[in-house]
Every structure is written in C-alpha cells, then in structure tokens.
Structure 1
C-alpha cells in the first residue's frame, strides 16, 4: 500500500517525526513517500492509497508555511480519496492554550473534507512534555500500520 506523508514544520521537529514515520512504515512493508515541499501534482503522481499528516502549529493556530500551498491546492481541487485511510500526528505546546495542536486539527478537518477516514485518533505530542517526539510517536505509528494491514 502506498502511504503519502504530508508534513508541515517550522523548526524541523515535525519534519523529523515525518521522516521517522516514513522509515517505520517502510519497515512495516508499506511504500511510504514523504516530501516536505510536495506539490499536488507530485502527490497525485505518487498515487497514494493512505495518508499520514504530521504537522506543527504556528502563529495563531495556523499550518506552517511549507504546508500552506499543498493545503490550499487540496482544498481547491478536492481529489477523490473518499474512503482512503489516514491519520494525523499533531505537534504543539500546551502552554499556548486554545491553539495547542491547531495545525493538526486543520489537517484532520481537511482529511475529513477529502473523505479520508481516520483509522487512528489524532496523536497530540506536547513539546512541554517531550524532547523525543519521534520516539513518542512509535506506539501510535505501530497501531496506525496495523490498522492499514489488509
């Protein structure tokens, strides 16, 4: 199964989690693809059957700049991915209150608009509680991979 990993990162932490997820999913036997600056055309050319979003939050609860163009293109085109499995890993800092993991929430809402069905509840990784988010995501990634097995 082809899994597209979409990532949004400001300081590189979410991108590192996405790269780690790509390695974990490949070891689980999936064809995982991650490009932090992916265009819609590149994503469509890959032909994913499943999706993983990994993003931090910036500003007042927005997605990072590197994910904005793809997010906008997806909202404009709404590709036919109804029923495809997916999940989201959101990175944030709970000290920011209402905007904690808001970028991940936005990505989850986009997945819902695209008809991507959530196979794992969103994973929220709190920067005020962890220094190894890629390691902290491993149990969630294992469950995500298991949910994608035929």
Structure 2
C-alpha cells in the first residue's frame, strides 16, 4: 500500500507540512503531490491518502486545492473504500472560518464515499506550536494499514 500525500497551499506552509508527514511515514512507500498537479482519476482506493490543506480568505480552499476539488465535484467518482486523513492549517483569529479548508476537503471526499480515519488535525497559526512538529507527531498516530509490516 502506498501513502499518497496531497497538499493544497496558498503560501507554501502546507507543502512544508506535507514533507514533514512524508518524513514521519518514511517506512512506507510515500509520494507527495501538489493537488494542483494531481488528477482525480489518479485516486486509488488501494492507497492511503493524507490531505494537507490550508485555509484561505473567508474559510475557503486555497488556490492550489481548487482545481482538484472542482474536478472531484465535476467527475463525481465513487470513492467507496478510499481511506484518508486530514491535516488542516488555519488561524483561530478568523473565528468561525478557522481551518475550514481542511474541513471542506474532508466533506467533499466523504460525500463521494471515502472514509476519514484518524484524528482530523487542526493546526492553529496563533499558537507557538510549529506546524511541521505537530504534523510529524500527528502522522505517527495515523492508522496506516501498512504499519504492520508485510
């Protein structure tokens, strides 16, 4: 089983976090992709997906994630059996829209039949916690099926 990490970013933080998650899961076959360069047709129910997504504007998906989720909405594939986890990035100073990007990503995948697993991580830029460190710790808790070595 491969681990496919997809990031959607506006300022690059999600890409940095995606790389930290990849480092934490390096015992697996891990690939990291910018969502803007990843086709919905490439989603494979046999892979474990990690979505790293920032929040932009008034609680929107970042520009880098919009093409992927627009394609997901347009194609409306059946993603039954696809397992994924989400690491969201946001800033609690924005109140109700805090971390909405990651939540929107999860909602769209679940609406297509995918199953979210593990804790939905929500990094808050208003804290002292560094996103890369939080991501590394979070990734270590993910229920990646391949963790039981073959």
TM-score by length of 1: 0.87
- 4+ long deviations beyond 3 Å: 45-48
Unaligned 5+ runs, structure 2 = none
Going by fraction, where is helix more abundant, 1 or 2? Answer: 1
Matched, 1:148 2:148: no
Matched, 1:56 2:54: yes
User: CA-to-partner distance for each residue in 1:42-62, whole Å, 9 max, x for gaps?
Assistant: x61877622111011011111
Matched, 1:4 2:4: yes
Q: How many residues align?
A: 146
**SS in structure 2 opposite 1:89?**
strand
Matched, 1:15 2:2: no
Pairwise mapping of residues 124-135 of structure 1 onto structure 2 (< 5 A)? 124-130=122-128, 132-135=130-133
Deviation at 1:80, TM superposition (A): 3.2
Pairwise mapping of residues 103-118 of structure 1 onto structure 2 (< 5 A)? 103-118=101-116
State the superposition RMSD in angstroms: 2.0
Note closer, same or farther for the CA distance 1:46–1:7 as it changes in structure 2 (3 Å cut).
same
TM-score by length of 2: 0.87
